Amino acid sequence: MGAGPDPARVAGGRPRRSGDRVVPHRRRSVLRLRDWRMGTKLATVLVIPSLAFLVLAGVQARGLVGQTNALNDFARQVGIGRQITAVVDRLQQERDRSAGELAALRRSGGSADRDAAVATLKPLQAATDQAVAELRTAAEPLADADAAWRVSYAQVLEAYEQVVYIRSAIPPAVLSSDTIVSNYHRAITTLLNLLAQPSPGDGQRALTDAVLRNVHLSRVKEFSSRIRAELYAAARAGRYEVDDQATLTDLRAQQLTALGAFRATATASQVDRYDQISRLPAFGSAAALEERTLPTATGKPAVLPAPQWWAASEQRHELLRQLESEVLDDAVRRADEASARQLRNTLLVVGGIVAVLLVAVLISLLVGRSVARSIRLLRGQALRIAQVDLPHTLERLRVLDRPVGAIEVPPAVVRTRDELGELAEAFVAVHRSAVDVAVEQALMRRNVNAMFVNLARRSQVLVERQLELLDELEREESDPEQLENLFRLDHLAARMRRNDESLLVLAGTESSRRWHRPVGLGAVLLAASAEIEQYQRVRHESGGEVHVVGHAVADLVHLFAELLENATAFSRPDTVVRVRAGADGTGALVEIVDQGLGMSPDALAEANAVLARPPAADVAASERMGLFVVSHLGARHGVEVRLRGGREGLTARVRLPAALLAAAPAVELDPPVSSRLLASQVAAAAAGRLSAPPGAGAPLVGRLPAPAGGELPVAGRRPEAPAAGSAVGPAPAVPRQARSVPVRAEDVLSPSAGAPAGGGGWFSRQGPSSAARGVTPPPAATPITAGTNERGLPVRVPMAQLTALTQPARPAAPVPRHDPDPDAVGGMLARFYSGVRQAEAEETTGMTMPSTGVPGEGREQQ
């Protein structure tokens, strides 16, 4: 057979799907931005700004956390100033008393004085050690403080170790006072440097001033303590050393400088507090005693009494210690407040950042989820429309054989008023437009099918009239050459009739030829052979008695005729086409084997795809009508048709289902003989060619006798007159009894061709006839009509002139028969057959078509 269409388009060009499951398109590459899923793109759009915001917020939070940590360390460093000032105060007490005891030891040098000095200094040294121990404990949490503070702290510990080491040199007084006292000076200086080490960073001027005024006040107190030490040492020694006055003058100048710095950085209340302390009697008595030690122009500075000076200076020192504690507490309070404030601000900022981020992420997720959900729903609806709904609608409209009603289009799944909602409405509008176009196309196809039916019916009428005319010419013609030409015209007319029936098949209309009783499968195959041009090349092989239900006989004859036509057309003229038929399980199997050109694997696959699923009628149907007609006829009756290639040629396997098979019909009376078949047999009998050829095989049911020369081994063959100029040339006058008459499918399927085992109902064109039992009764004396039409002409009732045969069975004793004159029988049957054809032509011409919306339908065809 010819090549078929693309298998991918067998299902009407629909996209590939598995059941009703939508198959989405595959993504090509995840590395290409345009191939990303919409959810990924939305996540990227939302995540990148969120990450950028998070990075910036993290940088800001990190800065705030760094400032918070710095202020926290600052507050702890300022807070440890209490222990530092305590150690400084204890070292000052120990240094000042040590300086006086050293002066007393150098003055007397007795052992009693040494013991007294040790007894005096030992409690002071223990108090200093206790204060340093407390400082060590307080400094442990600051082990991870900044490097500058740790270096200063290490210097404090080192200087203190020198003080501890120098203590043993005080009682023997082996070292000078300056050497011993300088170690105390160094230790106190490192402590004051450690007290000034805390730094709040840039932009914290108030905190810096708070630390500086504390340091300045501690230096004022330190210089006052050193003045006390110098004057106490002179008082215990009873005299001033050479450079004592210069030292005192320098210390007083440094004290005034430190006091000025304190007043410059201190608050007004702190300055007022210092002024109040300086006006106290205890502070004033110490200042008065110190003024007596100042050098004058008239005399030497006075040496103060040691006990009186120590007592007065001790009171002034204690007042400065109290003021120092107040200033230090103010600095610690300010540092703690700043640290707490910074921590609170940091927590608020970080919390705000986290809250804003969470809100942004939540809003982004909600918006992204809404957009993604709308896109997902829109995508699902679009894919379902493209791959399920619209193909199903097209499939339903393609096979629809009645007027099309309203087709509901599902509403949009996205009901928002944004662009996605508008896009969903656009998809629905496109779907609705596609459905409207499909409905219009379905109506157009129905109109085209109606046109096919009308044209095919009209053509059938003309062909039937042509066949009738050919019958008359054949009966009157005696010239063999002209008779041969008439036979060729007869065959061409039969092929034209089959083309008309093919148009009816493609239009979805059943054939007008009907059989109402089971017919043997062999007779069906013989009838199909009689419908083709090269019928003499067909060889039949029967595997058993199989009968086909009557309503499918016409379509099966048409199907087998198309297969046999292709088998003979695409094989060499000197080869034969073998037809094997027989029962196969619950059904029947027919194989048509030719020795032709064959088909390529691709063409064979395409043809089998077309046979498996009949496509809609299109241009390809007109180009390869046989393949499409076989496909539609097979789908109409559930017949499976498959093509299979072989070493030589092609094999068409036709499997008939059990629903098309029937039991053999009951034995009937001898039915009337078809005029054409009887004329053919009479002509063959007159020529002496009724004997079967030797070696022709067992005859099939309904097989016609073949000529003796082996020229027609197939029943139903249309004998041709000898060609002009052949060995058996045409005689000047050929007897009419010896004329060959062409045989058609209805001749083969008539009861006379069926033989007792063939069975089969009488042939009709429009439903059951009154001749269903194979006997044609004489017409009624008065024609039966159904009134008159609008033009006043009588309306004929189809088949009304035929009456049913009432005798159901063959008589018990056969009635003797007398062979009639062949010429008389042939003329009678020819006239009868001509009348039947004319009645059928008139019936077809007056047939009323169902209304399909095409102008002109529903009216009688003229």
Cβ pair 801, 836 in contact under 8 A:
no
For the ranges 136-140, 405-409, 499-503, the one whose mean pLDDT is highest = 136-140
**d(C-alpha 742, C-alpha 535), whole Å:** 11
**d(C-alpha 738, C-alpha 684), whole Å:** 6
Average pLDDT on 142-148 reads 83
pLDDT at 618: 66
**d(C-alpha 534, C-alpha 11), whole Å:** 35
**d(C-alpha 774, C-alpha 751), whole Å:** 7
SS3 content of the chain, % helix, strand, coil (to 5): 60, 5, 35
Partners of 785 in the beta sheet?
Answer: 796
Spell out the SS3 assignment of 735-760: CHHHCCCCCCHHHHCCHHHHHHHHCC
10 Å Cβ neighbour count for 607?
25
Question: Which string of DSSP letters, residue by residue, matches 107-160?
Answer: HT--HHHHHHHHHHHHHHHHHHHHHHHHHHHHHGGGGGS-HHHHHHHHHHHHHH
Full strand arrangement of the beta sheet holding 519-520: 519-520, 547-548, 661-662
Cβ pair 664, 649 in contact under 8 A:
no
Final residue before a domain boundary, out of 319, 335, 351: 335
Phi, psi (deg, nearest 5) at residue 436: -60, -40
Domain membership flag for residue 281: yes
Give the CATH number for residue 644: 3.30.565.10
**d(C-alpha 189, C-alpha 486), whole Å:** 145
Residue 817 has pLDDT above 60, yes or no: no
Of 811, 720, 752, 759, whose CA–CA distance to 549 is shortest? 759
Final residue before a domain boundary, out of 293, 317, 335: 335
Q: Is the dihedral of CA 216, 218, 220, 226 positive or negative?
A: negative
Q: At what angle do helices 306-384 and 268-278 cross, to 10 degrees?
A: 170
Q: What is the pLDDT of residues 240-295, one digit of tens each?
A: 888 888 899 999 999 999 999 999 989 999 999 999 999 999 999 999 998 888 87
Question: The domain containing residue 671 runs over which residues?
Answer: 456-725+732-778+797-802+820-845
Question: Which string of DSSP letters, residue by residue, matches 498-563?
Answer: HHHHHHHHHTT---S-B--S-EEHHHHHHHHHHTSTTGGGEEEEE-S--EE-GGGHHHHHHHHHHH
Cβ pair 301, 292 in contact under 8 A:
yes
Query: Each residue of 13-28: b (16+ CB within 10 Å) or e?
Result: ebeebeeeebeeeeee
Both tokens of 412, joined, read: 């949009």
Query: Each residue of 246-271: b (16+ CB within 10 Å) or e?
Result: eebeebeebbeebbebbbebbeeebe
Final residue before a domain boundary, out of 284, 315, 335: 335
**d(C-alpha 608, C-alpha 556), whole Å:** 18
Q: What is the pLDDT of residues 468-495, one digit of tens each?
A: 888 888 888 888 888 888 888 887 888 8
Domain membership flag for residue 369: no
pLDDT at 779: 42
For residue 650, the SS3 value is strand
**What residue has token string 């020229």?**
711
**d(C-alpha 467, C-alpha 487), whole Å:** 10
> What's the whole-number average pLDDT of the chain?
75
**d(C-alpha 230, C-alpha 227), whole Å:** 5
Cβ pair 588, 656 in contact under 8 A:
yes
**d(C-alpha 384, C-alpha 390), whole Å:** 8
Question: Which string of DSSP letters, residue by residue, matches 752-784?
Answer: HHHHHHH--PPPBSSS--TTTTS--PPPPSS--
Count the alpha carbons within 13 Å of 200 in the hemisphere toward its beta carbon.
22
Local confidence band at 734 (pLDDT 50, 70, 90 cut-offs): very low
Residues 629 and 486 in one domain: yes
Q: What is the pLDDT of residues 572-587, one digit of tens each?
A: 889 999 999 988 878 8
Partners of 589 in the beta sheet?
Answer: 582, 655
Q: How many structural domains are present in the chain? A: 2
Q: What percent of the chain has pLDDT over 70?
A: 71
Query: Each residue of 378-387: b (16+ CB within 10 Å) or e?
Result: beebbbbbbb
Domain membership flag for residue 670: yes
Domain membership flag for residue 98: yes
10 Å Cβ neighbour count for 116?
15
Residue 148 has pLDDT above 70, yes or no: yes
Q: Is the dihedral of CA 741, 744, 747, 749 positive or negative?
A: positive
For residue 493, the SS3 value is helix
The single-letter DSSP state of residue 656 is E
Domain membership flag for residue 475: yes
Cβ pair 413, 374 in contact under 8 A:
no
For the chain, the residue count is 862
Residues 475 and 623 in one domain: yes
Spell out the SS3 assignment of 319-369: HHHHHHHHHHHHHHHHHHHHHHHHHHHHHHHHHHHHHHHHHHHHHHHHHHH
**What does each C-alpha distance from 99 to 148, 211, 320, 694 come to in angstroms?**
32, 30, 21, 161
Does an H or E element contain 307, and which? Answer: helix 306-384
Lowest mean pLDDT among 161-175, 381-395, 661-675, 698-712: 698-712
Q: At what angle do helices 147-166 and 177-195 cross, to 10 degrees?
A: 160
**What residue has token string 């609008």?**
790
Local confidence band at 333 (pLDDT 50, 70, 90 cut-offs): very high
**d(C-alpha 217, C-alpha 328), whole Å:** 9
Domain membership flag for residue 705: yes
Lowest mean pLDDT among 49-58, 352-361, 539-548, 675-684: 675-684
Residue 664 buriedness (CB in 10 A; 0-12 / 13-18 / 19+):
middle
Domain membership flag for residue 413: no
Q: What is the pLDDT of residues 71-116, one digit of tens each?
A: 888 888 899 999 999 999 999 999 999 998 888 888 776 677 788 8
Average pLDDT on 797-809 reads 38
Q: What is the pTM of this model?
A: 0.49
Cβ pair 558, 511 in contact under 8 A:
yes
For residue 192, the SS3 value is helix
pLDDT at 30: 62
Domain membership flag for residue 380: no
